Structure 1
Amino acid sequence: MKIKVCGLREPENIRAISELGVDFIGFIFYPRSSRFVSSVSVGTGLMPDESTIREDSMGRETLIHQQHTPARVGVFVDASAQDIIARAVTFQLDYIQLHGNETPTFIANLKRTLKPETRQRSSSVLYKNVKIIKTVSIENVSDLDACRQYDHVADLLLFDTKCDTKGGSGRQFDWNLLSQYQGETPFLLSGGIGPEDVEAVRNFHHPRCLGVDVNSKFEISPALKDVEKVKAFVNAIRRESVGYRQ
């Protein structure tokens, strides 16, 4: 069961969460979000020269010495390809998560553009091609129809609760609806998952479910995660794989 912790921003908090053995850490590049990762522009409108997340606090030179290094995910909502590419390079992202109305054509073009852009050396690490996560908002079974157009286009889907805002509602949708999902693209389960949902997560089964995404239910304040709550959740979710005994 893979675990993604999204909405991080504070350097020490990033380091602490990364050390818990989570698989993905998410950074939100949507200006309307209270978890927005801002940056200072060099004046070109494309490439920030300094960010609120610094390389010495979340950089791979630090994380590479850990036994497990989480993948970096950048979350975007209907952003331009230029904006996405700039941040993918600057923040050395492994995944781009698209949380808006991005079309399959946009995603396919973005993947082709990112391929050569991300094959470069930085901090003595050679980066792989950036992969794409497409968020699909779910309220009823008809919303699953939207998944078909992203099959074999996105590398991973993320099922979230449909709401007026772009995520962060703290509400869950009916996970039973996902029994109707018959696509081939693996997915992450998201939407209001909290510390109290350990057993529900462990009892959820779907052949394409790769793991879960958590955010607001583990926060002290926007973008600041409660490390102990995340740690307890990670340990509880994975207790079978580490030989847990009550």
Structure 2
Amino acid sequence: MMIKVCGMRDPENIRDVGKLGIDMMGFNFCKDDPRHVGMIASLAAIIPDYADRRLIAENNSPRRVGVFADDMPQNIVTAVYNYKLDCVQLQGSESPVMIDNLRRTLDPDICKGVRIFKTLNVANIDDLKSSRQYSAHADMLVFNMKNDDTEGARSRSDFELLDEYDGGLPFLVGGIVTEDLDGIKAVSNPCFAGVDLNEGFETKPGIKDTSKLKDFISLLRK
């Protein structure tokens, strides 16, 4: 069971979450998101923008994932280089062609072996069918299960829908809360790879509740 924790931006919180034995950590580069990770501006454009080095792990674990939505390719390339990203997660309306072009730009010169994830909102079988277009282009999908009732868990049948996916790519399930534990554990699709944890485990945008995460991860991996 892979564990990705996304929306990280505070250096101390990053260090604490990194100690929980997670597999991937996500950094949000979407400018309209409160979890946005900004670049430090250069002086009068004399030197390139560069990353806040406090946000970069000193080792290669967990893997670093940059999250983007309909961003310009050059911005993605700059972030991959400056933040030493291992993976790129695209959660806008990016096409398979865009993914192919981005991969050719990044691999191998900027990030050899870069992995590209595509996020899709899933509410019904048609959403799952639409994901097939990315099967030969992305490396992994993130099925974001937005919950209109933020105070409660989804039904077991909501997660059982994921067993209908037949696109072949491994997928993570995002948009979940602690009450979704039983539903997540009920998913039996062999392509189900793990979870993407974010808003449901925060004390405020960009700050994760490490105790809540630790307890959930422990129960999930039992």
TM score, norm. by length of structure 2? 0.89
1:49 partner letter: Y
Could you report, residue by residue, the CA deviation over 1:22-64 in whole angstroms, capped at 9, with x for unpaired residues?
011111000110111111222559942243xx24x5323xx35
Cα contact 2:4–2:195 (8 A) shared by 1: yes
Could you report, residue by residue, the CA deviation over 1:115-160 in whole angstroms, capped at 9, with x for unpaired residues?
13335xxxxxxxx421100011112211122211100200000001
TM superposition shift of 1:172:
5.4
State whether structure 2 residue 31 is matched by structure 1 residue 75: no
State whether structure 2 residue 194 is matched by structure 1 residue 202: no
Residue 13 of structure 1: aligned partner: 13
Residue 4 of structure 2: aligned partner: 4
Pairing partner for 1:224 from 192, 207, 214: 207
TM score, norm. by length of structure 1? 0.81
- Separation in structure 1 between the aligned mates of residue 221 and residue 189 of structure 2, nearest angstrom: 17
Residue 217 of structure 2: aligned partner: 234
Could you report, residue by residue, the CA deviation over 1:153-187 in whole angstroms, capped at 9, with x for unpaired residues?
000000013689xxx9x985922222221111110
- Separation in structure 2 between the aligned mates of residue 232 and residue 46 of structure 1, nearest angstrom: 44
Is the partner of 1:101 in helix, strand or coil? coil
Could you report, residue by residue, the CA deviation over 1:193-224 in whole angstroms, capped at 9, with x for unpaired residues?
22233232222221100001111111000000
Pairing partner for 2:78 from 68, 75, 86: 86
Runs of 5+ in structure 2 lacking a partner? none
Q: How does 1:7-86 map to 2 (within 5 A)?
A: 7-42=7-42, 44=45, 47-51=48-52, 54-55=53-54, 58-60=56-58, 63=59, 69-86=61-78
Residue 118 of structure 1: aligned partner: 110
Cα contact 2:66–2:85 (8 A) shared by 1: yes
- Separation in structure 2 between the aligned mates of residue 145 and residue 45 of structure 1, nearest angstrom: 48
Cα contact 1:161–1:190 (8 A) shared by 2: yes
1:184 partner letter: G
Residue 215 of structure 1: aligned partner: 198
Is the partner of 2:136 in helix, strand or coil? coil
Q: How does 1:136-175 map to 2 (within 5 A)?
A: 136-161=120-145, 174-175=158-159
Pairing partner for 2:87 from 92, 95, 114: 95
Is the partner of 2:161 in helix, strand or coil? helix
Identity %: 41
1:187 partner letter: F
Q: RMSD of the alignment, in Å?
A: 2.5
Cα contact 1:46–1:82 (8 A) shared by 2: no
- The structure-2 alpha-carbon separation of the partners of 1:159 and 1:50, relative to structure 1 and needing over 3 Å to count, comes to closer
Cα contact 1:161–1:171 (8 A) shared by 2: no
1:93 partner letter: L
Cα contact 1:47–1:87 (8 A) shared by 2: no
- The structure-2 alpha-carbon separation of the partners of 1:228 and 1:81, relative to structure 1 and needing over 3 Å to count, comes to same
TM superposition shift of 1:92:
0.6
- Separation in structure 1 between the aligned mates of residue 102 and residue 90 of structure 2, nearest angstrom: 11
2:57 partner letter: G
- Separation in structure 2 between the aligned mates of residue 130 and residue 216 of structure 1, nearest angstrom: 26
- The structure-2 alpha-carbon separation of the partners of 1:34 and 1:233, relative to structure 1 and needing over 3 Å to count, comes to same
- Separation in structure 2 between the aligned mates of residue 45 and residue 233 of structure 1, nearest angstrom: 46
